[in-house]
Every structure is written in structure tokens, then in C-alpha cells.
Amino acid sequence: MNAILLSKKSLGYQHIPKVACTSIKYALYQLRTGKEFSEEKAEKNIHDYFWNEHKDISEANFRFIVLRDPIKRFLSAYSNRVTHHKELSKEFLEKKPAGKLLLSKKEIPINPSLHDFIKYFKEYQTIPTINHHTKPIIEFGIKDLDFFTHIYKMEELARLESDILKHYNTDFKLPRLQTGGIKFKVSDLNEDEMEFLLDYYKEDYRLLSKYYTKEMILEEWKSQSSIENRYSKREERMKTLYLHIGYYKTATTSIQKTIYSSRDTLKELDYLYPKCWSDNHTISACSAFRDTKKPIHKFHIKKNRTVEQVHYINHNNKENIMKEVNESTCNNIIISGEGIIDLDQEELEDLKTFIQTELNISKIIVVVSVRDVVSQATSGLQERAKSGNNNMKAKGKDIFVEKIARAIDIYGKENLKVYKFEDACQNEFGPVGHFCEQIGIPKESIEKLNIVKQNESISNKAVDLLQFINKKIPLISDGALSKGRSDKDTEALHSIRGGKFILPTDIQEKLIKESKEDREWLKDTFGIDYDDAKIKEPLVLVYDELYYEDIVSVYPKLSPTIQELTQRYIKNKKNQVEDIVSQDTLEKLLLWIRRYHKSTPEHKLQGIVKLFEYESLPTSASLYREIALVAEEDNQIETALYFMKKAQRFKANGKMINKKIEEYEEMLQKNNLQIGENR
């Protein structure tokens, strides 16, 4: 029998689609090479990689196969290939000859439901990928299971891991892969569909009779159906879900923290705010329903998580919320995540399908809070600065139309509640109280909630410093953490005091002009008027004694890279400011950093080295010059002179370099004279 052969390990594996074969292939690659498989480096997927590895495995000492109940394998194939990979969507089918033929048959639904998929199964099997993942395993040439030395049921993968460990004395961990898609149970099939599938897979059941039988799957189907009949009124009990999708910077954090901390009170009022996710549902929802072709969510990049780890987390998040919502007796469910508004059309549709089919929700109400374009952009830029983003461009176009219209297309305008953040702030209980009223919580009950007020704004001085740092080294670059950066490494700088951050007047004017069509659309569609925008004058930055105190307080808490960038910022500002107060403060700060900060020269050099690593600069005058200046700060003048002369080799006419060499030589000469006099 030809299958995957690892000849050096004398191991053979017969794969079957939708029976953990992707996970097993990833693990086999690591068993062979000692490395994790990377599609980017291999320039092919794991299945193409092993395609050329198909050889006769009859002489292998360890020959194994993993089996699965045929009908459950069918349901998994529908879930993954149809609902997740969209292989029966118009977009996918238009690219395939067989798909074009299928599209010409108008009576055949695209993106079929499970029931339609079975009804027109023969037609859908003309699509090669659908056929490959659903055809009986006997069609893969598997006739006799006695050929294999080791046989595992899908439910026994832990035993497979254990046997490989014992046999080869090496870890063999199966990552959870290809888990995307809505999960279906055998009870989702009606009686006719069960009969059809039992007949279609009758030869498979005959082959697998020691492991899976028709009687076993029928018993499971009857048992599940019986349980679900007892809860047939579940949809009536849990009929409304309030989907709070944004916008950013409209008191979403206060709302989420309030309702999360008031879950018990809300439960008494017939409202469930799931506790299986964190207080802000953005990451859980946006990651779980993110298109798998896109890079993983930036939150996971900050945590240095692999794609496999993210898939596992997403799967668990879906399973956990399904369990909590379906076991709850509440009639009203709340999901709140301001990032949900950024999901694209297909992702939002997947979320809607999941809510309806897996959470058994009959009605979805989408809640959206909007804000004046200029103040929205102002708060948004602060948030980007805090999160390490180097994109500080303010956008005025497609603020409302693009995102809210997408929600209207999917959920219907009649199911959207859109309100002004500015109006919400006038509520007796603030934005939290206004939100609660929007979802039907009576005023007398709002009084009982533990309302959390959260102000996440930072000063103009903090924003200016963070923008400088992020421009030099953003937190994330090329889909990974930048060298020298780490999650929350600038958090200490958020406390720097100063005035209110206000956008430059020209940027404000640009935003108002660009957003005209959006504002008109919002007014026509929801009666929300933002025509009274006013230009505000930004405050001039003055670095005073409070700034000195704040930097001295937070500087020791910073990483070497952020310390180095902060010092560079202060140097730059000292050369730019004109007022005496700022000049004196910044000079005083530089003196403090040089004389009193206890970090070693090696500690400071780490920051410099990280900068040059990130900027990919070759060894040059700049590097040697910076090292010389660090040595000077530590009063190691001979070392400073040595490195400054190295810098001179690269830049012989550098004025600053030549001036410093003269200074160092003069300082050393004076020191030598003093030593001579003391003798």
C-alpha cells in the first residue's frame, strides 16, 4: 500500500481527509525534521509537501491509520469545506470549470444549508475538493485494516501521541488544525438524511465494524434528538441577542466593565453577559471569525502566539460561548466588542450564522454609538499611540457609510440602534446608562448596577513622545514584534501629565471636509446631525517641572530600547523648543539621565544596538558615534575617543565627530596634567 513513509523512522501513515490528517502531517514533519512546518518557507502547503512522500509502507515497522465515524466525518467535511472555506460560494465556483457548470444549474443553491447540501449531494460532488473530503474511505484504496500495526479511533488521538513517544522517544504533539466552520451534530440530520448517509457509507461501516457501526451512530442520533426535543423551546427562551459593535472611543470600555462586573444583577433582569470571554469581546469575536487567509490578529502577535495556538484558542472560545449561552435560562444575551465593526462582509455574515445556528438566537439587535469625526479621530490617534502603532494618519472618508451600511446589509436597518455618543454623555447615568436603556434595561434597574467610569485619554506630551517612539520602532513590523519592543513596554509613559491632546487645526479642517458625504448619509439615514463641528486650537507644548518629575519617575521602569528612544526624544526637543522653561527642563533631564540614572553603559548600549538592528543599518559612523557618546556619559573618555575615531574613518568630514575628538583629547590632556601635578 502506498502512503506517507518516513523511511528513517520506519513509519508509515495512511491519511484520510477530515480525520485529523492535517494535524498529523504537521506533527510528522516535526518528527522528521525537528522543526515546525512553515508554508512560507516551504512555498507549499503541508499536503503538497507530503504528496511526493507516498511510497510503499508495507515494510515499515510502525504502520498506522486513524478512523472516524463516516457520518461525523461527512458533517465535519461540510462544516469545514462549505461553511468555513466557502468552497460552494459563487466566488470559489467561478474559478473552477466544474464550478461554472454547477452555477449554470439555477436550481442548485450556492452556499447551501446542510439540508440542501444533502439534497443535491451528487451535484455538489462534481466539485473535486468536495468529493475528495466526502467520498467513502474505501475509495482511497483502504480494503483491509489488518494491514496496519496500529489503529486509532478519532477519539483516541492522545493514545497515538503516547505510542509515538514510547516508540521513538520523542514528543509527538498534534496541533488542532482545520477546525474552522460551524459545528454540526448528528441530531441536525432528519430521519431521511440519516437513511441516505447510512446507505451512502454502508461499505465504510462494514469495513469499520470493529470500531464504528450503524447501530452506534443511530443510537447517538436518537439520544441527541431526544434531549434536544426536551429543549425545543430553547429558541423561544433565548430569542434576542444585543450585538454592541462600536465605535471605538465611545465609552465602550466603561460599558463592558460595568456589565461584566454586574453580571449577577443583570442575570436577575434576564440578561446574560458571557463570562467565558473577557469583559471586552473584541479579541474573542474578531479572532474567531477572522478570515483565515488574513494574518493573525495583532493581539496574538503581541503575545508571540503561533497560528496553531490561535486556531486552538479560537476553537475553544467558540465552544465556550456556545456552552454558556445554550445552558443559560436568560432571554437576552449581550455581546460587546468595539472591534467587531471592523469585520468585513463575509466575516460579519459568518458571525451572524454562528449566532443564529449555534447560539440558537432568533433575533439580533445591533447597537452602534457614533461620535463627532474630529473627536473620534483625536481619541483614535491617542489609542494608536498607546498601542505602538506608527500609523498616525487621521481618516475622514468612509467613517460611517462603509461600516454601518455593511451592518445594515447583513442585519437589516430595522435591527440597528444607532445613537450619538454626545447624547449618551448627557444621560443621568452617563454613556453606560444610555446603552442600558437602548437594550431595554429599565431606569430603576440601572441604578443597581456598579457603573464603572473609565477615562483612557492621555496628555498631549505623552502622545508626542509615544508618536516619536513608534515612528522609530513600531511595536509590530512585518507581522511580528519589532526587535527591542514588547507588549505594554510604553505603558509607564501614559501617566505623563500635560494638556489635552488636540489635533492640528489643518488636520481638523481636513477631517470635516472629507467627512461631508458621510455626515450627510448619517443624517439622512438615522437623523443624526454632525454639521456643527467646531475647530479647536491645540495647546503649545511646554516642558515644565511636572514633566521633569514624571520622566524621572517612569524612566527607570522602561526597557533599554524605550529609554534610549526617550533620551533621543528629549535631545531632539531641546534643539527645537524656544521657550526658556522648556529648554531648562529638558537640559536638566539630560543631566539627570547622564549623571544619576544607575543603568550601566552595557544597559544603555542594548538600546542602541536594538535601534540599529531594527533599522538594519550597517556598521557606520552613526553606530560608533552613539557608542562613543554613551561612553562619554559614563565618563569613560578614552573609550569615547576610541569609538569616535572609528566613526571618523566612515565620516572624515563630520563636524560633530571632529569636534568631539578635539574635546576628548583636550579632556584627556587635562587629566594627565592633573595626575602629573598630584605626583
Domain assignment of residue 521, yes or no? no
Stretch 474-486: mean pLDDT: 89
Q: Is residue 160 part of a domain?
A: yes
DSSP 500: B
**305 in a domain, yes or no?**
yes
State whether 8 and 126 are in the same domain.
Answer: yes
Q: Are residues 132 and 184 in the same domain?
A: yes
525 and 504 Cβ atoms separated by less than 8 Å: no
What does the pLDDT read at residue 235?
44
pLDDT of residue 673: 63
Contact 387, 349 (CB under 8 A): no
Please write down the HEC assignment for all residues of 62-74: EEEEEECCHHHHH
3-state helix, strand, coil in the chain (%, to 5): 60, 10, 35
Would you say residue 508 lies in a domain?
Answer: no
Question: Do the beta carbons of residue 331 and residue 235 sit within 8 Å?
Answer: no
Q: Which of 457, 479, 512 is the last residue of a domain?
A: 457
Flag whether pLDDT at 162 surpasses 90.
no
Q: Which three cell numbers stand for residue 631?
A: 561612553
In a domain, 467, yes or no: no
Domain count, the chain: 3
Instruction: With cut-offs at 50, 70 and 90, classify the pLDDT of residue 608.
Output: low
In a domain, 170, yes or no: yes
- If you average pLDDT over each of 296-300, 313-317, 488-492, which comes out highest? 488-492
Tens of pLDDT, residues 552-601: 999 989 998 999 899 999 999 999 999 999 999 999 999 888 875 544 45
Beta strands 11-14 and 62-67: pairing type?
parallel
204 and 266 assigned to the same domain = no
Task: Kindly write down the DSSP assignment for every residue of 82-96, as one continuous string.
Answer: IIIS-TTSHHHHTTS
pLDDT at 635: 76
Lowest mean pLDDT segment, chosen from 306-310, 371-375, 534-538, 581-585: 306-310
Phi, psi of 349 (to 5 degrees): -65, -40
Inform me whether the pLDDT recorded for 214 exceeds 90: yes
| CB-based contact 519:530 (threshold 8 Å) | yes
**Residue 231 pLDDT > 50:** no
Q: What is the pLDDT of residue 40?
A: 80
Same structural domain for residues 101 and 178?
Answer: yes
Which domain-ending residue is among 457, 475, 504?
Answer: 457
Question: Is 206 in the same domain as 75?
Answer: yes
Query: For residue 345, what are the contacts with CB-CB under 8 A and spacing of at least 6?
Result: 406, 409, 410
Measured at the alpha carbon of residue 352, what is the angle toward residues 350 and 357, in degrees to the nearest 5? 95
Q: Quote the CA–CA distance of 175 and 20 in Å, as a whole number.
A: 9
Both 268 and 163 in a single domain? no
Percent of the chain with pLDDT over 70: 92
| Pairing label, strands 363-370, 416-420 | parallel
**CATH no. for residue 446?**
3.40.50
Q: Closest Cα to residue 532, out of 369, 374, 368?
A: 374
Report the pLDDT value the prediction gives residue 532, as an integer from 0 to 100: 82
In the DSSP assignment, the letter for residue 494 is G
Final residue of a structural domain among 457, 474, 503: 457
Q: What is the mean pLDDT of residues 198-205?
A: 96
Domain that residue 302 falls in: 234-457
Task: Please report, for the domain that includes residue 582, its CATH number.
Answer: 1.25.40
Note whether 150 and 73 are same-domain residues. yes
Domain check: are 584 and 650 in the same one?
yes
Instruction: Tell whether 252 and 175 lie within a shared domain.
Output: no
- Higher-pLDDT residue of 143 and 239 is 143
CA separation for the pair 330, 272 (Å, rounded) = 6
Q: Write down the mean pLDDT value for the chain.
A: 88
For the stretch 499-510, pLDDT in tens is 999 999 999 999
Pair 189, 244 in one domain: no
Q: Is residue 483 part of a domain?
A: no
Q: Give the other-Cβ count within 10 Å of 51's Cβ.
A: 11
Structure-model confidence comparison of residues 4 and 234, the more confident one: 4
Instruction: Show the DSSP H helices in 138-240 as ranges.
Output: 157-168, 191-200, 202-207, 214-230, 234-237
Tell me, yes or no, whether 559 lies in a domain: yes
Quick one: pLDDT at residue 646? 86
Task: Indicate if 74 and 220 belong to the same structural domain.
Answer: yes
Whether 334 and 259 have beta carbons less than 8 Å apart is answered as yes
Residue carrying C-alpha cell 455593511: 406
CA distance 245 to 86: 25
pLDDT at 459: 96
Q: What is the mean pLDDT of residues 208-214?
A: 95
Q: What is the pTM of this model?
A: 0.58
Give the CB-side neighbour count of residue 77, counting CA atoms within 13 A. Answer: 26
Whether residues 179 and 247 fall in one domain: no
